[in-house]
Amino acid sequence: MALYEFECLKCKKKFDVDQPMGTEHVADCPFCKVSETRRIFSVPYLNIISDTDLAARLIGVPKARLEKSKELRDNRAKRKKDPKSEKDIKSNELHIN
């Protein structure tokens, strides 16, 4: 099934219809019941998230915890690139020589 957007030629209202892909795009206006409609081509909505974010959302991890863990991952990646960093990668503690 695909979601298509239509506009009524009589009342000028827009509406969405779920229709199987590959079928003729015909829909009656749900507002004025007229069959004079046209399909509108619009930009599709894409919501791209990582697999780890999706998995965490599915098991119910709080958003604040997700953001904190993402921040720690980013910091860890930065420190791995810089061998002269003063912070320990695992414990995140300062080392004073």
Instruction: Indicate whether 4 pLDDT > 60.
Output: yes
Average pLDDT, stretch 69-96? 63
Give the residue carrying structure tokens 């993402």: 70
Where exactly are the structural domains of the chain? Answer: 2-40, 49-97
Q: Kindly indicate the confidence band of residue 24, based on its pLDDT and cuts at 50, 70 and 90.
A: confident
pTM of this prediction? 0.43
pLDDT above 70 for 59: yes
Q: What is the pLDDT of residue 46?
A: 67
Question: Residue 42 pLDDT > 80, yes or no?
Answer: no
pLDDT at position 86 = 54
**Are 38 and 9 spatial neighbours (Cβ–Cβ below 8 Å)?**
yes
Which are the contacts of 67, defined by CB distance < 8 A and separation ≥ 6? none
